[in-house]
A and B are shown apart, each in its own frame.
Chain A
């Protein structure tokens, strides 16, 4: 039995929204425990005044005082979970400022989340898992070099990817759309092994990540089964060759998006999610289909267009598609529509998620959507920076898994 990771909860409203049980369950599922930092009434008044954010809600004042107690070391914790009601402006300000305050003044990993009464333990699981991984596996996450012969598998919602690495080099890759989770996994593993020219039994360690990580990981007896937030961060800084110092990783996926603020390869703060499919790779797939081009052609097409020529609001994938159809019917060019679709996805990720993490350069885009040049361009324009897309960026999770799993070779 390992010691449970102690996650300090700073919150307003979860117990009244009926979701505290879900938060507790998500933590328990990853062998962590939620606790409220214990502070005195006098501490609340003093610390709240010292922090200087004059909010009205007493629960938020309490959260501020608890954050100060954590940062100043008066209460010990391994990680911090900040949770407030979705749609509360006052709480959103506090959530953001506390996340930033903790991130800048301590080494505690922190995740913030805005919940509704529909929030479930399942929704929170990956975030909690990432928090516990950072707290528990700091030594493993510090690994900068892949050694031996290892395989990493990323079982994603849209695609399954595998990578074989030997002595810090990628020697085999496999990529297929995800259909049956296990079958897709086995198929991409074989593709990667064939390309590398090695046999399965020669592998010294295996790691899995992505939505199907548990199912596939147990089946193939993986040494490492780890959520994609920490794994992708590691893969990103490894491939972009910026393992030291700050960076920001953006992964616009098929089902959800991740924005991770990284320091020395380890996530400090991160957000995960996306309000609607309109902000995901799925919308770009649909756009490509409607424009009658392959998804690989969408990026170059978008680069030739002007996004401002087409009004597109794809906060919802249905309305986004409607805008797309209307624009084409009104005579807009395919290039402009493709550019508008890319801009729309980038803008939503920028507005909904990148506000929740501190953007620190270099900004690295990874995942399959990072190959869509129009999307990378749109994101660069919004962030006013040059985006780094490392080689093998679509294999980021698999590379991270192969790299980290090599840490298990010595243990065998």
Chain B
């Protein structure tokens, strides 16, 4: 079974789809849960401390805004760990929303740079496209299982 990085990483629907086909979704929920459950640190709401943007320096230089580097400290390691990726472009806020456009550009670039299997789709605008959308994700995830 493959570890699949999802974009938007906050999408519960996408995360659920990946899990349903027996793969491990790499998503924001997982990474933020790890942060929140870390004992001895008090930096609400996400338990991200000023040290995290420094960890993000591995993915973005110091002149890049701290919010981008803080986000990359969460998503960067997941991208490195991923066996595959699913990228949904122009998703509706309700589907999954990632706050910073600059981080999003960097995430998509880094996922593609990994040379792992990546499925890129546009967010569906009607029922017909919705059915095709789910089918494409299903085929991709089933295919990943076969490759493994």
Contact = CB atoms under 8 A, between A and B. Distances in A.
Interface of A: 12-21, 24, 41, 44-45, 55-59, 62, 84-88, 90-91, 115-118
A249 to B, nearest CB: 30
Contacts of A45: 93
A54 to B, nearest CB: 11
Interface string B62-81: 01111111110010000000
Nearest to B46: A15
B101 interface: yes
A13 B43 contact: no
Contact of B99 (A12, A24, A116): A12
B64 A57 contact: no
B102 interface: yes
Given A13-B70, A88-B67, A90-B102, A18 B97 contact: no
Given A19-B50, A117-B50, A88 B70 contact: no
Contact of A41 (B44, B69, B70, B93): B93
Given A17-B67, A21-B43, 14 more contacts: A13-B68, A13-B99, A14-B67, A15-B45, A16-B70, A18-B53, A19-B50, A20-B46, A56-B101, A57-B102, A59-B100, A117-B50, A117-B52, A117-B54
Interface residues of B, number: 30
Nearest to A58: B97
Given A16-B71, A18-B48, A55 B63 contact: no
A273 B54 CA distance: 24
Contact of A13 (B45, B49, B63, B65): B65
Contacts of A118: 50
Contacts of A41: 93-94
Contacts of B34: none
B52 A18 contact: yes
B45 A20 contact: yes
B4 to A, nearest CB: 23
22 contacts: A12-B67, A15-B45, A16-B48, A17-B48, A17-B69, A17-B70, A18-B48, A18-B51, A18-B53, A18-B66, A18-B70, A20-B44, A21-B44, A41-B93, A44-B93, A57-B100, A57-B102, A58-B97, A85-B67, A88-B67, A115-B66, A118-B50
Nearest to A85: B65
Contacts of A56: 101
Contact of A55 (B43, B52, B101): B101
B16 interface: no
Contacts of A117: 50, 52-54, 66, 69-70
Contacts of B70: 13, 16-18, 117
